[in-house]
A and B are shown apart, each in its own frame.
Chain A
């Protein structure tokens, strides 16, 4: 299984809502990532978990809250988002050390109204 799955595929939420994005991989990877991608732009790194511990937080606003319940799962909790947060949210995983390929999921298309 060389797949990273993400749910939901699409999400529409109001600025007062609380929602969560889910990511799952069963490749035994020990590093997992959240990226944000705006239209016609490259992915921007948000968070990295390494061995289930938060390794990188790219100064992301606190309205985004990551969680790594176990080595296969990664969540992104969303609260009080702004319309400018509308984007494609990508999850990725890699085996766990540098010089390794990241495998991306299909993303969750988020629209904040």
Chain B
């Protein structure tokens, strides 16, 4: 079964702190791993994405770390800001297809 497991379910971080969200997958038939940010009442928006042949990708305050052998990947948000408060979904795209499997989501709250 194709699954992506995401943790924690919710996260509270002080302003300026580091937010860390972890995901793990079981099936190796994935070839693209995007992270989406969703604000209430809005559609998900791509935050950052990584391919399995790369171990780390950084874009501004957002970094993805990818461990292919462990089938794990994580999102680090440096210098977290109240405006980062949102729900974050990790996802994995099925190789050669159009199907994307989403993690359950992490609700992040950054305290001012």
Task: Show the binding face of A for B, using Cβ within 8 Å.
Answer: 4, 31, 33, 40-43, 45, 48, 50, 55-56, 90, 92, 94, 98-107, 109
CA–CA, A101 to B45, complex, Å? 10
B31 at the interface (CB under 8 A from A): yes
Which of the 9-residue segments B13-21, B77-85, B97-105 touches chain A? B97-105
Q: Which residue of the partner chain B has the closest CB to A40? A: B105
**Cβ–Cβ contact A42 & B102, under 8 A:** yes
Task: Show the binding face of B for A, using Cβ within 8 Å.
Answer: 31-32, 34, 36, 41-46, 49, 51, 89, 93-100, 102-105, 107
With a cutoff of 8 Å between Cβ atoms, the chain B residues found around residue A43 in the complex are: 44, 89, 102
CA–CA, A33 to B93, complex, Å? 14
Q: A99-B93, A101-B46 are in contact. List 16 more A-B contacts (CB 8 A).
A: A4-B43, A33-B98, A42-B89, A43-B44, A45-B100, A98-B32, A98-B97, A98-B98, A99-B32, A99-B51, A100-B32, A101-B49, A102-B100, A104-B43, A106-B43, A107-B41
Indicate the member of B42, B51, B100 with the most A CB atoms within 10 Å.
B100
A94 with B98, Cβ < 8 A, contacts A40-B105, A99-B51 known: yes
